[in-house]
């Protein structure tokens, strides 16, 4: 079963796209076999999920240098995350760090991220119009991923 | 030897905000020893203005991914105080268990992911994975257990949804609580015992540094309190929470975008060590035994021991959660609804202990139930002056050591406080390689 995780802060404009999608999926009438998790800004929850046996897809706001609202599936294979910066506090951990930790703990699967280019991550703003328009595209991508894994499961 | 020393450690933490350690010594005289915080302000108080009482706690729980629960609990209590909303004994017990879960996970991750690599001299958690993978796995299991507590009691692992002013919108079933209790006994207690043994085996690696300061925490004369009580100073005793501004005395310094705080001295300490020093006698038996095993006794004036106090607290929180669950289960979960009876409008001030220390939320509501003014004083801001004072005493004491060793000890010192510097945005930065 596919685990879908929304990462981001709903207080920071388009950074909230991950949790918003999780909320939409919770309200949808889909019968697809998925498990949902709103991880908010807690990178360690992602780490815990990555170490499980189920495939994981993460929805996150991503600065990719594309047009705002662009949705793109990113694999850790074809992108290079920033070097892990573990700093001085638990607050220094983000997806980049926990993915590298998961890798070093022996996780072999690709990390699939549905990245959404933000227009604004200004405090106290909701999703921008361009990112709102991307919601159906993201939902469709999640559905396709869920179907793909459901088919894989049924072959086993 | 009249030594010159310049240290400037830049810790850029992702997208925005960072803390730098800056030391400047000339001819053996310390010119500067400070933690510079250059994080842009987040304006959370402004964000709360005009918000209705029913949404305030949801917003504040998103201030921080690590301290989500603590902000939400403090927020609910401030709102209830302002609007005169009473809560039941059952609600209070459930909230206490939630706070214990949050404390367990933050304290454990801090002690095992950040402090243990220093004590083992392995650099970071990446090396720890190679040499002590079982430590990392125990930390993650304890983290998962805390998420389970959140899931069962508050409806979500991270950002609670069923906690509202006046109580809960959905209550856990007795079966869910019984299952959770079983996990705490069968998984939580053994994992924390293991973690304590790991830290105890490394206790001699903890820097031997002492600076007595003022220790401030929430204090109750009934228990080792995280949820409620007076403000307690190790120097001057207890003060009602309504007087918090007389304690925090926030002031601005040029090298920090975050305000500093002071009360009876030039600085004070908040966090696990302050709680331990002020409330040691209320620790549960297994926690007291853990403290003894770890060589921690109250009062302790070594800030590096904050990490050790955190693990003592993890033991206490699991023990106390089991007792609180027993209390709930013995009487059965009452199918009560959240109390929504507002009896007044005005100002409400609340405090709780979050993992990094005492937290204050202060709201003023108008007659529409919307916030007119808000003030949040977070633990890290209160600790900054104390960190500077620690560095001013520490650097001359270790000045003959190598620059690398001095730098490491300073980093370890700041890490011991686990400062909340930047956590408000978790955007992924991607660089494509074609």
Which pLDDT score is estimated for B42?
Answer: 59
Alpha carbon B234 to chain centroid distance? 19
Question: Which residue is closest to B355 within chain A, CA to CA?
Answer: A90
Residue B8 pLDDT more than 80?
A: no
Question: Which residue is closest to B13 within chain A, CA to CA?
Answer: A92
Cβ proximity of B417 and B356 under 8 Å = yes
Which pLDDT score is estimated for B380?
Answer: 87
Q: Residues 31 to 50 of A: which have CB under 8 A from any B CB?
A: 37-45, 47-48
Q: For chain A, which residues make up each domain, given as ranges?
A: 2-155
Which of chain B's residues have a Cβ under 8 Å away from the Cβ of A124? 43, 46-47
CB contact under 8 A, B125 and A87: no
Convert the pLDDT of each residue in B81-106 to its tens digit.
Answer: 999 999 999 999 999 999 999 999 99
Q: What's A2-155's CATH class?
A: alpha beta
CB contact under 8 A, B425 and A40: no
- What's the whole-number mean pLDDT along residues B279-288? 98
- What's the whole-number mean pLDDT along residues A127-141? 96
Which pLDDT score is estimated for B40?
Answer: 56
**Among the ranges given (A8-17, B171-180, B267-276), the one the predictor scored with the smallest mean pLDDT:** A8-17
Residue A48 pLDDT more than 60?
A: yes
Domain annotation for chain B: domains and CATH numbers: 44-387 (1.10.645.10)
Which pLDDT score is estimated for B126?
Answer: 83
Tell me which range, A22-36, A80-94, B211-225, is most confidently predicted by mean pLDDT: B211-225
- What's the whole-number mean pLDDT along residues B25-43? 77
Which pLDDT score is estimated for B432?
Answer: 42
CB-nearest to A121 from B62, B126, B427 is: B427
Phi, psi for A46 (deg, rounded to 5): -60, -45
Q: In this predicted model, which residue has the larger pLDDT, B242 or A147? A: B242
Convert the pLDDT of each residue in B161-195 to its tens digit.
Answer: 899 999 999 999 999 999 999 999 999 999 999 99
Phi, psi for B243 (deg, rounded to 5): -95, 20
CB-nearest to B432 from A61, A79, A118 is: A79
Token readout for A45 is 């929850």
How much of chain B, in percent, has pLDDT values that exceed 70? 92
Which pLDDT score is estimated for B314?
Answer: 97
CB contact under 8 A, A96 and B429: yes
Q: How far apart are CA B418 and CA B118, in angstroms?
A: 13
Q: How far apart are CA B229 and CA B278, in angstroms?
A: 12
pTM of the model: 0.90
- What's the whole-number mean pLDDT along residues B103-117? 90
* H-run or E-run covering B23: strand B18-26
CB contact under 8 A, B426 and A45: no
- What's the whole-number mean pLDDT along residues B388-409? 92
Residue B423 pLDDT more than 50?
A: no
CB-nearest to A85 from B12, B68, B411 is: B12
Query: B179 CA to chain A: closest CA distance, Å?
Result: 20
Q: How far apart are CA B78 and CA B74, in angstroms?
A: 6
DSSP state at residue B426: -
Alpha carbon B433 to chain centroid distance? 39
- Which of the four pLDDT bands, split at 50, 70 and 90, describes residue A76? low
Establish if A122 touches chain B: CB-CB under 8 angstroms: no
Number of C-beta neighbours around residue B252 at 10 A: 9
Residue B271 pLDDT more than 70?
A: yes
Q: Which residues sit opposite B239 in a β-bridge?
A: B231
Question: Which residue is closest to A92 within chain B, CA to CA?
Answer: B13
In the sheet that B5-12 helps form, which strands lie side by side, from edge to edge? B5-12, B18-26, B29-37
Cβ proximity of B264 and B235 under 8 Å = yes
DSSP state at residue B151: H
**B23-32 in b/e burial notation, b at 16+ Cβ within 10 A?**
bbbeeeebeb
Which pLDDT score is estimated for A90?
Answer: 67
Q: Which residues sit opposite B219 in a β-bridge?
A: B230
Query: A118 CA to chain B: closest CA distance, Å?
Result: 9
Token readout for B208 is 């031997």
Question: Which residue is closest to A115 within chain B, CA to CA?
Answer: B428
Which pLDDT score is estimated for B205?
Answer: 93
- The yes/no answer to whether this complex scores an ipTM above 0.90 is no
DSSP state at residue B114: I
Nearest to B418 by CA among B377, B361, B379, B390: B379
Cβ proximity of B403 and B5 under 8 Å = yes
Q: Angle at the Cα of B32 (from B29 to B34), degrees rounded to 5?
A: 140
- What's the whole-number mean pLDDT along residues B39-59? 83
Q: Which residues sit opposite A5 in a β-bridge?
A: A37, A58
Which pLDDT score is estimated for B422?
Answer: 52
CA distances from B433 to A57, A95, B30 (A): 21, 18, 47
Phi-psi region of B61 (alpha: psi -120 to 50; beta: other; left: phi over 0): alpha
Convert the pLDDT of each residue in B317-333 to its tens digit.
Answer: 999 999 999 999 999 99
- Which of the four pLDDT bands, split at 50, 70 and 90, describes residue A80? low
Which pLDDT score is estimated for B418?
Answer: 83
Using omega within 30 degrees of 0 as the cis cutoff, is the peptide bond preceding B299 cis?
yes
CA distances from B276 to A141, B8, B88, B306, B312 (A): 50, 32, 28, 9, 9
- Which of the four pLDDT bands, split at 50, 70 and 90, describes residue B62? confident
- What's the whole-number mean pLDDT along residues B293-322? 97
Nearest to B419 by CA among B261, B258, B284: B258
Residue A86 pLDDT more than 70?
A: no
Q: Which residues sit opposite A4 in a β-bridge?
A: A36, A57
* H-run or E-run covering B371: strand B371-377
Residue keyed to tokens 């801001």: B381
* H-run or E-run covering B193: helix B189-201
CA distances from A1 to A34, A52, A154, B338 (A): 6, 11, 10, 36
Cβ proximity of B183 and B133 under 8 Å = no
Number of C-beta neighbours around residue A24 at 10 A: 15
Which pLDDT score is estimated for B187?
Answer: 96
Which pLDDT score is estimated for B308?
Answer: 97
């Amino acid at each position: 079963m596919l685990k879908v995780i929304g990462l981001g802060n709903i207080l920071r404009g388009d950074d909230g796209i991950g949790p918003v999608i999780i909320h939409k999926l919770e309200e949808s009438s889909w019968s697809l076999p998925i498990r949902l998790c709103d991880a908010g800004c807690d990178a360690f929850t992602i780490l815990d999920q990555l170490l499980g046996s189920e495939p994981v897809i993460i929805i996150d706001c991503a600065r990719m240098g594309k047009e705002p609202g662009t949705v793109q599936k990113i694999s850790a294979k074809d992108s290079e995350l920033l070097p892990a910066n573990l700093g001085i506090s638990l607050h220094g951990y983000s997806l980049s760090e926990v993915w590298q930790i998961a890798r070093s703990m022996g996780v072999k699967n690709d990390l699939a991220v549905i990245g959404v280019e933000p227009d604004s991550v200004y405090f106290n703003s909701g999703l921008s119009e361009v990112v709102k328009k991307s919601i159906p595209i993201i939902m469709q991508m999640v559905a396709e991923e869920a179907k793909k894994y459901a088919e894989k499961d049924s072959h086993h | 030897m009249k030594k010159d020393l310049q240290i400037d450690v830049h810790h850029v933490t992702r997208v925005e905000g960072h803390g730098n350690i800056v030391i400047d010594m000339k001819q053996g005289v310390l010119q500067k020893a400070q933690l510079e915080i250059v994080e842009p302000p987040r304006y959370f108080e402004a964000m709360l203005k005009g918000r209705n009482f029913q949404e305030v706690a949801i917003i504040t729980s998103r201030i921080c991914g690590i301290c989500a629960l603590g902000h939400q609990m403090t927020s609910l209590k401030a709102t209830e105080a302002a609007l005169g909303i009473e809560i039941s004994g059952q609600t209070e017990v459930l909230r206490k268990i939630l706070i214990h879960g949050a404390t367990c996970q933050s304290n454990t991750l801090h002690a095992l992911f950040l402090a243990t690599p220093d004590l083992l001299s392995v650099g970071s958690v990446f090396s720890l994975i190679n040499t002590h993978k079982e430590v990392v796995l125990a930390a993650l299991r304890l983290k998962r257990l805390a998420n389970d507590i959140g899931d069962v009691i508050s409806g979500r692992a991270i950002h609670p949804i069923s906690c509202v002013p006046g109580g809960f919108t959905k209550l856990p079933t007795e079966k869910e609580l019984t299952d959770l209790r079983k996990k705490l006994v069968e998984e939580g207690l053994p994992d924390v015992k293991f973690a304590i043994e790991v830290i105890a085996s490394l206790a001699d690696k903890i820097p031997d540094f002492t600076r007595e300061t003022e220790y401030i925490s929430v204090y109750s004369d009934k228990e080792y309190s995280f949820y409620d009580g007076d403000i307690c100073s190790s120097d001057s005793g207890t003060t009602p929470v309504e007087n918090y501004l007389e304690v925090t005395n926030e002031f601005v310094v040029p090298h920090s975008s975050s305000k500093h705080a002071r009360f009876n001295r030039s600085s004070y300490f908040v966090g696990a060590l302050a709680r331990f020093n002020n409330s040691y006698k209320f620790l549960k038996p297994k926690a007291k035994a853990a403290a003894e095993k770890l060589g921690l006794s109250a009062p302790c004036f070594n800030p590096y021991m904050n990490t050790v106090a955190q693990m003592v607290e993890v033991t206490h929180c699991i023990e106390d959660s089991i007792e609180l669950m027993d209390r709930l289960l013995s009487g059965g979960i009452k199918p009560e609804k959240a109390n929504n009876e507002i009896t007044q409008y005005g100002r409400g001030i609340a405090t709780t202990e979050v993992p990094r220390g005492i937290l204050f939320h202060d709201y003023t509501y108008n007659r529409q139930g919307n916030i007119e003014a808000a003030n949040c004083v977070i633990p890290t801001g209160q600790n900054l002056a104390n960190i500077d004072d620690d560095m001013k005493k520490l650097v001359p004491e270790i000045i003959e050591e190598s620059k690398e060793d001095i730098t490491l000890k300073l980093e370890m010192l700041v890490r011991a406080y686990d400062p909340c510097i930047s956590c408000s945005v978790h955007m992924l930065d991607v660089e494509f390689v074609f």
